[in-house]
Amino acid sequence: MLRGFYTAASGMLSQQRMTEMLTNNMANANTPGFKADQASMRAFPELLLQRMNNPGVPNTDRQLPGGHTIGSINTGSYVQETIPNFIQGDLQDTGRKTDIALLDLNVPIDVLTGQKSSLFFSVQNANGENRYTRNGNFTIDGQGYLTTNEGYYVLNENNQRINIASGEFALQEDGTILENGQVVGRINIVLAEDPNSLIKEGNGLFRTEDGQALQTAIGNQEVAYSLKQGFIERSNVDAAQTMTQMLSAFRAFEANQKVLQAYDKSMEKAVNEIGRL
Q: How many helices (H) and strands (E) does the chain have?
A: 2, 20
E runs forming strands in 65-211: 67-73, 77-84, 91-93, 100-106, 118-124, 130-133, 138-140, 146-148, 153-154, 170-171, 176-179, 182-186, 189-192, 199-202, 205-207
Residue 53 has pLDDT above 70, yes or no: no
Report pLDDT for 137. 95
Between 49 and 25, the more confident residue is 25
pLDDT of residue 210: 87
pLDDT surpassing 50 at residue 62 = no
- The per-residue pLDDT for 6 is 79
Question: What are φ and ψ of residue 275, in 5° steps?
Answer: -65, -15
Checking if the pLDDT of 63 tops 50, the result is: no
Give the Cα separation of 276 and 272 in Å (integer): 7
| pLDDT (0 to 100) of residue 64 | 44
139 pLDDT more than 90: yes
The terminus-to-terminus CA distance of the chain in angstroms comes to: 20
pLDDT (0 to 100) of residue 259: 87
Q: Does this model's pTM top 0.85? A: no
Average pLDDT over the chain, rounded to an integer: 86
Backbone phi, psi, residue 123, to 5°:
-125, 165
From the list 165, 166, 162, 190, the residue with the least C-alpha distance to 176 is: 162
**pLDDT at residue 1 greater than cutoff 60:** no
Q: Which residue has the higher pLDDT, 40 or 155?
A: 155
Beta bridge partners of 88: none
C-beta atoms surrounding 132 within 10 Å: 23
Compute CA 42 distance to the chain's CA centroid, rounded to the nearest angstrom. Answer: 17
Closest by CA to 242, choosing from 13, 85, 118, 110, is: 85
Lowest mean pLDDT among 11-15, 29-33, 222-226: 11-15
The arithmetic mean of pLDDT across residues 121-143, rounded, is 93
